[in-house]
Amino acid sequence: MSTTTRSRGSAGAGSDADAEGCDLCGLPTPTPPVTGDDVSGEFCCRGCLEITRALGDAASADPETVERELAGGADEVPDDAERTYMAVDGMHCATCEAFVSGTARTCEGVYAAEASYANDMVRVTYDPETADLDGLSGTLARYGYGTRDPEEREAAERSDNQVARFVIGGGVFGMMVMLWYVLFLYPTYVGVQPVVELGVFDGIYILGNIWVMTSIVLFYTGFPILRGALVSLRAGQPNMDLLVSLAATSAYVYSTAAVLVGETHVYFDVTVAIILVVTLGNYYEDRIKRKAAGMLSDLAASRVSEARRRVAGDADGSGDTAVEMVALDALEPGDLVEVRPGERVPVDGTVREGTAAVDEALVTGESMPRTKRPGYDVLGGTVVTDRPLVVAVGEDATSTLDRLVELLWDIQSARSGVQRLADKLATIFVPTVLVLAAVAFGWTLFSGGTPTDAFLVGLTVLIVSCPCALGLATPLAVASGIKEAASRGIVVASEAVFEAVPDVDVVVFDKTGTLTDGDMAVLRVVGDETAAVAAAAALERFSAHPLATAVVEAAEDAGASVPEVSADGVTVHDRGVSGEVDGERVVVGHPDLLRDEGVTLAPVHETAVEAARDEGAVPVVVGWAGRSRAVLVVGDEPRAAWDDVVAAVAEGGRREVVVLTGDSERAARRFRDHPDVTDVFAGVPPEAKAETVERLRTRGTVAMVGDGSNDAPALAAADIGIALGTGTDIAGDAADAVLVGRDIDAIPEVFSLSAGVNRRIRGNLAWAFGYNAVAIPLAALGVLNPLFAAVAMGTSSLLVVANSARSLD
């Protein structure tokens, strides 16, 4: 039914680990912790210390307070509570968000619930013994909100098809209504002879058809809007759905009553126009929003659900150890778990047995796997690449990857300043319009008008103020911008790109995979290249380490003749590999390994080793017959256009440029020399990346450019996230814009294109607000009638459409 995790550690309410963790990102600190004389606090790494030193020590809210706020006032969340994510179909406004949250919290056994309109999901913290999640789904279903597992992609596609049927069904019947109006009703309204006279039978037949088709449009296509209005009343938060529903249903009720008393001047066309225009806008917005839910489910799919736990000796008392598969919830601090090559470490812990290269790219973003030995800490979610490990479960039995999921939720669910302003405007605009309609109704009666006249004046106010142009102003301009961006190889996943990019003050670049290629490769060879590469590749084929893969690929690319070597004669060491190649014993790997094996490094190779380390690359030394023969420098190179892109984005110093990486200080050193780079922060864990972006926001609007899964929280935390199409799906889903099939030289185009769309949005909004400022007073004074109000509303919308359709060039 859902994706479930334990609510512990950083995900829970004020655990001891939180209190003793890194003051920046909350990760566990080493013993002793990293500290600085000029900075207060204790940190997990040098990167967090440097960020705090550079950006200041921002105070953080107490975790228990934050948890209570997210829980909607829950007093206490027990440590053994479970947390699940449920996708919710049908939320399309902030009021739906509040209603779903409140409804979920009323269910027995639910400690906390937080719905996210941005993610189309609800996060529920509950007691697994007493909570009835199926009952919660049934309760929400009665109000038209469907629930499903976030990972059910087919269900999401079916939901999209359902929305499409709503739009298509409403469009077909709406067109039929308008056809009847054009052929028969509109001519009579303006004094022109219709095609067919509206006699008693013909008039009833035509108006009956119009009533039936309008009913389908209103109650079938308009169901989400009507439901949103009902929910807003139940939640006590009037929204635009309420105003739209009142205008559409008032015209419908009045027209139905008019038909029953024999009138032919009806306003079913107003109902149809309002419902279709607003539904199309909601459909477009729903397509955009679904990206966020996919981001969380993709990252959740990378998490481990079970672990191989060692148990005590066999029942016969032999003392031999056994292994059992258990759920992560069953792990306790100190338990020993086995992790085989190619598997993810289930939870944070400490290596007890074995030595292996661990790929931390998903969690930390570091391009180079790290060798882990007994006593070394490992992070949950990282991958053991070449040999098995036995890991002792850490104090809180939590996973760094799980914390990333929680972090993504918190960031992605937060509402932007513009969205919060829009929500506030809705709560003011709707009651204001209702009051104006009521005042206009009362004034007309007081001035001697008939009840029918008074009702029509009030209806006109509701119709003319229906926010169709206001609702289309942004979506249509955004749609035009998305189309233009696609033609330039840029996929825009969020309208926030066009809203915030023109005002960006700080651009943060991830290093690995963004400013660099991200793939380990042999950059150069110092020494006997042909013989060294061939001999190294002959042995490295027996190692699963990424460095070994880079060496083998280099030999293949060079077309080297690699000797055949028997696996029996190859030894894989902690820091390299050795074996017999063509009658010579060859050693390949870390300089210390060669020294331990009796190989002397030549001075030129010693110099090459230090030079490689200074540039952040890894030196792989090859030697035989007692002396070194070559140094293979392995690393990832900067992209060819990186310096030009940085200069273009900086715009002559108008924007600050920050480089952020999980790699070492040496690996990031080359980027400090660029004149437009303001800061370089190295050795930064993923949680700290998101926190760094948050602190940089004190300098202004922040854009983040990245490509890795570990960048997803930072991409989501930034005002604007830009991901490379060559990166991971998770990074792409977390981003607001994705560069597909292009290098980073497309990044400046994102800024220029967004500026043009932003100007168009502002123009549309100016017209929409100007229209309401003029039309509403005229309607309230009785100058307009409902038909003219509907025409004015439609004309306003058409002007917005025409402006949005213009070329951006």
Catalytic residues: 510
Distances 34 to 8, 247, 288 between C-alpha atoms, Å: 25, 63, 42
Label residue 73 left, alpha or beta by phi (over 0 means left) and psi (-120 to 50 means alpha): left
Q: What is the amino acid identity at position 636?
A: D
Residues 6+ apart with CB under 8 A from 596: none
3-state helix, strand, coil in the chain (%, to 5): 50, 20, 30
- Measure the CA–CA gap between 222 and 769, rounded to whole angstroms: 25
3-class secondary structure per residue, 436-447: HHHHHHHHHHHC
Q: What is the amino acid identity at position 612?
A: A
Nearest CA to 752 among 677, 671, 808, 686? 808
Helix axes 240-260, 200-216, angle to 10 degrees: 160
Provide the 3-class DSSP secondary structure of residue 523. strand
Q: Give the angle subtended at the CA of 459 by the CAs of 458 and 461, to the nearest 5°.
A: 65
Written as one string, the DSSP assignment of 164-191 is: HHHHHHHHHHHHHHHHHIIIIIHHHHTT
Residues 6+ apart with CB under 8 A from 568: none
Nearest CA to 232 among 241, 244, 220? 241
Provide the 3-class DSSP secondary structure of residue 269. helix
Could you tell me if 48 and 684 are in contact, meaning their C-beta atoms sit under 8 angstroms apart? yes
- Measure the CA–CA gap between 123 and 416, rounded to whole angstroms: 19
Give the DSSP H/E element, type plus range, for residue 224: helix 223-235
- Measure the CA–CA gap between 662 and 54, rounded to whole angstroms: 17
Nearest CA to 112 among 1, 195, 7, 35? 7
- Measure the CA–CA gap between 493 and 287, rounded to whole angstroms: 9
Provide the 3-class DSSP secondary structure of residue 408. helix
Could you tell me if 745 and 515 are in contact, meaning their C-beta atoms sit under 8 angstroms apart? no
- Measure the CA–CA gap between 761 and 299, rounded to whole angstroms: 33
Determine how many CB atoms are found less than 10 A away from the CB of residue 65. 11
Q: Compute the residue count for the chain.
A: 809
Q: What is the amino acid identity at position 150?
A: P
Q: What is the b/e burial string over 273-289, where b = at least 16 CB atoms within 10 angstroms of the residue's CB?
A: bbbbbbbbbbbbbbebb
In degrees rounded to 5, what are phi and psi of residue 742? -135, 160
Beta bridge partners of 638: 516
Residue the block writes with tokens 């003793």: 20
Distances 300 to 29, 305, 404, 494, 545 between C-alpha atoms, Å: 25, 10, 9, 22, 26
